[in-house]
Structure formats: structure tokens, C-alpha cells
Structure 1
């Protein structure tokens, strides 16, 4: 197993306009390879296939003949699907509910056989040959303080792979380059961080996330309020009102308009969720979190069982996008039981239904008052740390765990460590 430390550096690309279509076609074919592999490997009434070698032997020739991708990109599509199927099988073994992986988010995975990483540009394989894409670089006098300067330009770090992503809102391409350093040596706090994050044997830090029907769409245990669930619901209601008016008209033109605005809203919703996930991951990286913890999705569905199917889809899709985007980062996603996270005081632990009143949390015992969703997010992180303390194996393989809070971390013994961030 390659245990070399890794860092991921996002780089905006100045993509040649006449080559953008090539990358979109490449993405479509890459995801198609992954989805066909998922269809083949995920077997409800039999054993799922989790062997990359077996999948490549069975599927590679047909997929290569069907697509214009290079051999390496076809293999990457197969392997990405098998990794997701393998993760799903592990969830089933743990008694968790899951479903067949579906790949619909814009991404293409590259390594050194399908891409070259240069000082100021990359060349990337497409369905129409290799394309040179220049980097949009930070200002030279500010570069040393950026991930690009610290890692990408360092002789000690080597670019090993990358994921190409596309921001549909800004219409920009980003290359998330993964670098590794097998000879990385650090001292003091940095060595402790490297041991925790890369070897995963001692301690880890997790970020709790509470998802909501009203108010902020997501709230973290560090007090980050992400997006507006009210705004998302408002946009959906506007669509439904317009759809209702067009249905009353009943013409062929109105039917086509319904299809068109529905497609536009679906694209907008996905883009909105992608941007909110990006905010969440930025917060996780800011506080050096190792894991992002949600309440299990079954609770989310039950919590809004009488509400909108759209809200259920939005929450599930948000977590799915987070899991996908975390694949190439030094992070993981895990889940906890939702029981009483909204009623428990994150300060003293007292649990009572009267503690919460809509968006206000006021502990009936110690008097602690705070935003209710923020309180719940802290409880989610604390609960996960409790699981590890009682011997449950973490996705990071640690012996202990800490919760990421606004100004530091908290362990299960109530010991607070102030953050240097």
C-alpha cells in the first residue's frame, strides 16, 4: 500500500474555447463507462463484483470499442465504478442501506498516462486527442502562500493524478491535482498532523454537519452556515406554480415549456448543491478535518416524510456529491444515529424535548443558548467521537477522535484544544 502523504491542489484552467466540446464529450463517455460498469457489478440477488481485475477483463474490450476514450480513461472509468461498488458492499455488511452507484456529476479522472503536468499548463487526453490547457496562476508575489506555491511548485511533491471538474455556473474548468511526497519529513506539530492524517493510527478530527428543511441548508460543528433551505424551497415552489399554470393551458407548446423549465431547474439545483458542497469542503480543509459526519440518510427521509420529495432528493444528492468530491481528498464521509441530536445540550449533555424551540436551543439545565442547528451539528460530531472512544473503528482507522468546533477541538473527555487557525 502506498502510504505517501498526499495533497490536492485545485487549479483553474484557461481552456481553449474550441476544445471545450471535446472535454464535455470526454466526460460523457467517461461517466458512461463508469455507469455501465456499475450496472454490471451491482447485483441485488447475487454477489456484487468488487474485483477491478475481473471487471476489466469482462468489460474493457467492449467499452473500448464503444467509446473514443484512450485505454487509460476507459480503465479509470471501470475502476472508479468498482471502488464505489466496493464501498457500497461495505455499507451493506455494516447493516446500512445503500443503492447502486450512479455517476452523473461532471468529472474525469486522469493519471500520468493520460495527462502531463507542467509548470504552467497540463495536457489532457480527450476523445479528440490531447489538449493543452494553461493554468490560471496566482500572482507571483503571493504564490508562496497558496497551495500551488507550497506543493505544486515544490520539488519535493510530485503530481500523480488529477480530477477534471467543470463549474456550470461560471463555465470554468478546474483541475484538482493530487500530489504525493514519499520522503516527506516534518517536525513538531506538522509531524503530529502528518501522523494523524496520513497514517491514521492515533487521533483524528471530524466535522459534524446538520442538514435542515428550513433556515440554513447545512450547519457545521464549527458554526459555518451554508446555503438557505428556504431559498431552495422557494425556487422549487416557483417552478411548481408555473408548471401548474402551464398545465391548465393544456397546449402542446405549454407541455414543451414544462419540460424545458423542468430541465433548467434540475440543472440549476445540481449546480446549487455542488456549490454548497464546495463550501462545506472548504470549511473542512480550513479546520484540518479528517472526516465529515452526517446523520444517516434514513433519518433525513423520515424527518421530511410528509414534506417534499424534492427536499428528500436534495439532501440525498448533497451527501452523494460530498462523498464523490471527497474521493480524491484526505477526507472521508461517515454517519451517526440521529437520536436526540436536536434535544441534547452540546454543552452539558442534558437531553430534553423542551430544550429546543424551532431554531432556538436553550438548555433547561445549564442555561446554554445557541442556534438549534449549530447545537445539533456539534452533537453529531461528538456522537461520532463517542463511537470511536467505545471501540468502533473509524473510516480513518484512529484510536481516538476529536470534534471540530468554532475555535478549536474537543475530545470525549471534555478537553478543549484551541485552534491556531
Structure 2
């Protein structure tokens, strides 16, 4: 089975001084096309919004070309696509009952496909309002171990539709190069060829805990760092001086950059744990709507589980490891040893089953339940429970084989479940 892997590399462009204005003018017209499309396609609440790129192109493409003095055709098409895609996302949010508004575009961001740009390993040629501009890449002296060396200069990866951005403070242009590669990965064809790593994400204590007993990251440290950064920014904003305002601008979204790097390290640990145990799947709880169901406390509303899952998904993809989600109900209350499900089983980070007296870290227990849920889900996707399909999930002490003949649903069972493939004393 072939997998398509995409990596984005940020590389600085050496733009000739006399051509910088051409890129700025091109961006202005690109953003004009996107805003005009958004104005035309946004019909809420009177009518249904238009989310079809082909419908939008049929209606306004010719006008946009004329109004922008015939901006490159593919740039107009990409601007229309950006707006209709964003409106489609807005419609999804409205359907879920969330508040949103018409997209607006005022930053420097131009989308280039291979018809509007010619990509090379050392430079790129970009279409502008004044012909093409050729920009060389400014690469590190030693690219070994960097994204530039691993993807940009790697012949196994090919260029795909990318974007050009502008840093106004540094007066520098950047290409966010999308690099694609097809790899052969042996995806399991049947449930019995699968092994699942379960992951429980947390707001307190550890960022994540796996079904193999790996404790990843420090959620308390993460929350503390965010709190300290927000306090500093709020203090500067209250000061109100020009110097304080400039400091706020200079530090920008420093926590955002720090947190992304921190979560990268956590996601690397999770993927490495899956590799070490030769897992075919990584299971997370489906927490998409969790903010609607949990406390409105700031640390809950700013929980970084979505970014962590996104990073794990794209990193695991390169190894052919599938990332999937399961329903989160009762994973923290159910005993992973005997199946007894009681709210009283869990007390903070301590889990003690009132039925079988199994005692363990509560998040580790939940991670095993997450893994087992996906194992059952995989079986049901293969054949009926009576078919005898089985699936394993990884534990600290080995693997657990879940047999759908014995366990046909996720309802609690009384039989001992946590047996492993390793001999016991």
C-alpha cells in the first residue's frame, strides 16, 4: 500500500531588491481575489454559502482576471480555492453550532502551484504582476539533520503547491515549500495483523501516557509556562507605554512557538514508542468536542491535545502507522484488568478497582482502555464478532490479545483481560 507523506520546509528567499515591489503588488492582487470571492460566496444567514470552487470560478473568474489586470490565471484560481475552502470550514463550524464570520484576507500569503512557479533544489521562479522573479534559497551552512537537508534537498521528495510569506519586521520573504513523497508501507489488511498503542492525553500531571506505561511531557510545566507568558504580556499591555507596546510586538507569539516545539518533542516520543513496540496503530480519544463538555477553566479551554494529535499523525504517517480515535466514554472509570466500570474507581491520579482491587496510575489505566477500544473497533471493521478475529495492543509487560469471540462489545466484562505474551513467575 502506498502512503503519501507531506512535509513543509520554511526556507528564506534571496529576492532581488528591485523585484520586491513586484511580489508585494502580486500579493495585493491575490488577496483582492480571495476577499472578493469571500464576499461573493458568503450568503449566511439569508442563503446557503457557496463552497464549490468550480461554481465560484464560473461566476467570477473572468471578472477577477480583468479587475487585477490579468493576474496569472493560476494565482486567481488559487485565491478562489483558498476562499471557498475557508468558507467550507466556516459552514462546518456553523453546522456544529459555533459562531464564525466571513473570512478576510489582509496578510502576505500567496499560493503557488507548479504552473505559477518553477521549483528547483537551489531556487524558485515565481510568477508576478511583472513577469517572473528568480529567487535563490538561503540555506544553512550545514544542512545535515535540518528540514532543508531531509526534505528540500532530498530527491526522494518532490515539490508540491507551496506558499510565499513575508516577514515585515525583518523585511524577508520565505517559501513554505510543501515536499511530497510516496512510500510503501505494509498497512495491516486484517485485524489480526494489528497492534495498537493507546494514548491518554491530560491537562494535569503528564501531557500523555501510553498503554506501554510511557509518561510523556509535563502538563503542569506546560500550563505554568503559558501562565507566566500571559501574565507578562498582560502587564506590558497595562503599562501602555510605547516601549511596552514595542516589547509586546517583539515577543509576539513566543509561547506559541515554544509550545509547538515542546509538543514536537512529546509527539516524537509517542511515535518512537509506537515504533519500538512495532505498533500498526496509535489510538487517541476523540476529543474534538471536549471543550463543550468540560470546565470553562482556561487550562482546559487551551488544552493542546489537537496539536499533539496532528503532529503525531503526520510523523507516524511516514512509518505507515495509522492514527485513529475512539469514543472517550468511561476510559478513566473502567478497570483495564476486569472491566468493572465505576466512577468511584478513580480518585485523581490513583485508580483502584472496587471489584478486583487492581491498583495502578489512573492515566495508564485509561491508556490501556483506549488501546482496547480501538482493537475492538478494528475487529468489527473486519468481520462479525463470531468470526474469531483478534487484535493485540501493547502493554508495559508485553501485549494483550483481544479476542472478539470472547469480547464482542465494549460493555464491561468480568473475565480477566490483562494477560500478556510474556511468561509470569
TM-score by length of 2: 0.60
Q: Which has the larger radius of gyration?
A: 2
Q: Which residue of 2 aligns with 1:358?
A: 348
In the alignment, structure 1 residue 228 sits paired with structure 2 residue 228:
no
For structure 1, list consecutive stretches of 5 or more residues without a partner in the other structure: 393-398
Please report how far the alpha carbon of residue 123 of structure 1 lies from its aligned counterpart in structure 2 after TM superposition. 1.1
Matched residue pairs, number? Answer: 378
Partner of 2:301: 312
Cα distance in 2 for partners of 1:324, 1:28 equals 35
3-state DSSP of counterpart to 1:369: strand
Equivalent in the alignment of 2:55: 54
Please tell me whether the aligned partners of residues 201 and 207 of structure 2 are also in contact (alpha carbons under 8 angstroms): yes
Distance 2:245 2:28 in 1: 22
Q: What are the ranges of 5 or more consecutive residues in structure 2 without an aligned counterpart?
A: 383-388, 404-416
* 2-structure distance, mates of 1:221, 1:92: 36
Q: Is the counterpart of residue 72 in structure 1 residue 74 in structure 2?
A: yes
The CA deviation string for residues 35-64 of structure 1, in whole angstroms up to 9 with x for no partner, is 775673584564343322113334545666
2:413 maps to none
- Asked if 1:267 corresponds to 2:253, the answer is yes
What is the rounded CA distance, in whole Å, between the counterparts of 2:195 and 2:68 in structure 1?
45
Q: How far apart are residue 177 of structure 1 and its match?
A: 0.1
Query: TM-score, normalized by length of structure 1?
Result: 0.60
* Cα pair 1:116 1:124 within 8 Å, conserved: yes
Supply the distance in 1 between the matched residues of 2:36 and 2:256 (Cα, whole angstroms).
22
Q: Could you say what secondary structure the match of 2:291 adopts? A: helix
- 1:71 Cα deviation (Å)? 3.7
Residues 210/116 of structure 1: CA separation in 2 closer, same or farther (3 Å cut): farther
- Check whether the contact 2:229–2:255 (CA below 8 A) recurs between aligned residues: no
The DSSP-based 3-state class of the residue aligned with 2:74 is helix
| Aligned residue number for residue 161 of structure 1 | 160
State the secondary structure of the residue aligned to 2:328: coil
Give the match for residue 177 of structure 1.
179
Change in CA separation of 1:5 and 1:245 when aligned onto 2, cut-off 3 Å: closer
**Mapping of 1:12-411 within 5 angstroms?**
13=11, 15-16=13-14, 40=41, 43=44, 46-60=47-61, 65=67, 70-83=72-85, 86=88, 110-118=112-120, 120-123=121-124, 125=126, 129-133=133-137, 148=151, 152-154=154-156, 159=158, 161-163=160-162, 175-180=177-182, 190=185, 192-193=186-187, 210-219=200-209, 223=214, 225-226=216-217, 228-237=219-228, 239-240=230-231, 243=234, 247=238, 253-254=240-241, 267-276=253-262, 278-279=264-265, 282=268, 286=272, 287=274, 293-305=284-296, 307-308=297-298, 311-315=300-304, 318=307, 336-364=326-354, 365=356, 367=358, 369-370=360-361, 372-387=362-377, 389-390=379-380
How far apart are the structure 1 equivalents of 2:313 and 2:253? 18
